[in-house]
Amino acid sequence: MNLLRRRGIAFKLSLWVLGGVTLVIAIILTLNYNVTRRLMVEKIEENAFNLAQATANRINSLLKAAEKIPAGVALTIAELDPNDTELKTLLANRLEQNPELFGIAAAFALKPDATDKLKLYSRYYVRSYDRLKESPINYDYRFHDWYQIPKVIDKPLWSEPYFGESGGIVMTSYSTPFYRQKLGTKEFAGIVCVDLSLNWLRNVVSSLKIGETGYAFLITRNGTFVTHPDLDLVMNETIFSVAEARGNPKIREIGRSMIAGEKGFTAFTGLTNNQKYWMAYTPLPANGWSLGVLFPQNELMADIHNLTKNMLGLGLGGFFLIMLVILLVSGKITKPLRALAKSADAIASGNLETAIPTLKTEDEVGRLALSFAGMQQALKEYIKNLTETTAAKERIESELNIAREIQMGILPKIFPAFPNLPEFNLYATIKPAREVGGDLYDFFMIDDQHLCFTVGDVSGKGVPAALFMAITQTLIKTRISRSSTTTLHQVNNDLARDNPSMMFVTLFLGIFNIVTGELEYCNGGHNPPYRLTPGKSEPVQELPTTDGIALGVMDDFAFTAKSITLAPGEALFVFSDGVTEAMNQRDELFTEARLEKILAPLAKQPVREISDQVMQEIEIFADNTPQSDDITILTIRYIGKKRNNDEQTTSKTSPPPCQG
Give the separation between CA 454 and CA 574, rounded to whole angstroms. 9
Q: Are 279 and 266 in contact (CB under 8 A)?
A: yes
Q: What is the DSSP letter of 108?
A: E
Q: Could you write out the three-class secondary structure of 194-235?
A: EEEECHHHHHHHHCCCCCCCCEEEEECCCCEEEECCCCCCCC
Element (H, E) at 313: helix 302-329
Residue 435's CB is within 10 A of a number of other CB atoms, namely 17
pLDDT of residue 647: 34
pLDDT of residue 208: 76
pLDDT of residue 369: 65
pLDDT of residue 112: 57
Q: Is the pLDDT of residue 363 over 70?
A: no
Q: What angle do CA 102, 145, 132 make, to 5 degrees?
A: 20
Residue 659's pLDDT band (cuts 50, 70, 90): very low
Region 467-494 average pLDDT: 92
pLDDT of residue 609: 96
Residue 47's pLDDT band (cuts 50, 70, 90): confident
pLDDT of residue 230: 85
Region 283-294 average pLDDT: 88
Region 354-372 average pLDDT: 68
Residues 6+ apart with CB under 8 A from 326: 13, 14, 17, 18
> How far from 531 is each of 566, 618, 635, CA to CA, in Å?
9, 20, 10
Omega of the bond prior to 416 within 30 degrees of 0, cis?
yes
Residue 57's pLDDT band (cuts 50, 70, 90): confident
Region 390-403 average pLDDT: 70
pLDDT of residue 203: 80
Element (H, E) at 74: helix 9-80
pLDDT of residue 577: 93
Give the separation between CA 569 and CA 442, rounded to whole angstroms. 22
Lowest mean pLDDT among 420-424, 435-439, 518-522, 560-564: 435-439
Q: Is the pLDDT of residue 127 over 70?
A: yes
Give the separation between CA 168 and CA 171, rounded to whole angstroms. 9
Q: What is the pTM of this model?
A: 0.44
Look at residues 189, 240, 166 and name the one whose alpha carbon lies nearest to residue 80: 189
Q: Is the pLDDT of residue 325 over 80?
A: no
| More confident position, 513 or 230 | 513
Q: Are 430 and 632 in contact (CB under 8 A)?
A: yes
pLDDT tens column, 212-262 = 788 888 999 888 988 888 888 888 889 999 888 888 888 899 999 999 989
Residue 156's pLDDT band (cuts 50, 70, 90): very high
Q: What is the DSSP letter of 355?
A: P
Q: Is the pLDDT of residue 43 over 90?
A: no
User: Which strand ranges, in their side-by-side order, compose the sheet holding 518-524?
Assistant: 439-445, 450-458, 505-513, 518-524, 562-565
Give the separation between CA 265 and CA 282, rounded to whole angstroms. 9
Residues 6+ apart with CB under 8 A from 401: 435
Amino acid at 498: D
Q: What angle do CA 187, 118, 78 make, to 5 degrees?
A: 30
Residue 551's pLDDT band (cuts 50, 70, 90): very high
Choose the most confident range, by mean pLDDT, from 16-30, 49-63, 233-247, 485-499: 485-499
Radius of gyration of the chain (CA): 37
pLDDT tens column, 187-200 = 898 999 998 888 87
pLDDT of residue 448: 92
pLDDT of residue 653: 35
Q: Is the pLDDT of residue 361 over 90?
A: no
Q: Is the pLDDT of residue 295 over 80?
A: yes
Q: Is the pLDDT of residue 7 over 60?
A: no
Residues 6+ apart with CB under 8 A from 120: 107, 108, 110, 140, 141, 142
- 567 backbone dihedrals φ, ψ, rounded to 5°: -85, 155
- 537 backbone dihedrals φ, ψ, rounded to 5°: -65, -30
Q: Are 438 and 457 in contact (CB under 8 A)?
A: yes
Residue 6's pLDDT band (cuts 50, 70, 90): low
| More confident position, 376 or 650 | 376
pLDDT tens column, 590-646 = 999 999 999 999 999 999 999 999 999 999 999 999 988 899 999 999 998 754 443
Q: What is the DSSP letter of 161?
A: P
Domains in the chain: ranges and CATH: 36-60+201-302 (3.30.450.20), 86-199 (3.30.450.20), 344-409 (1.10.8), 421-642 (3.60.40.10)
The alpha-helical segments, DSSP class H, found in 81-198 are: 84-97, 145-153
Give the separation between CA 218 and CA 287, rounded to whole angstroms. 12
Mean pLDDT of the chain: 83
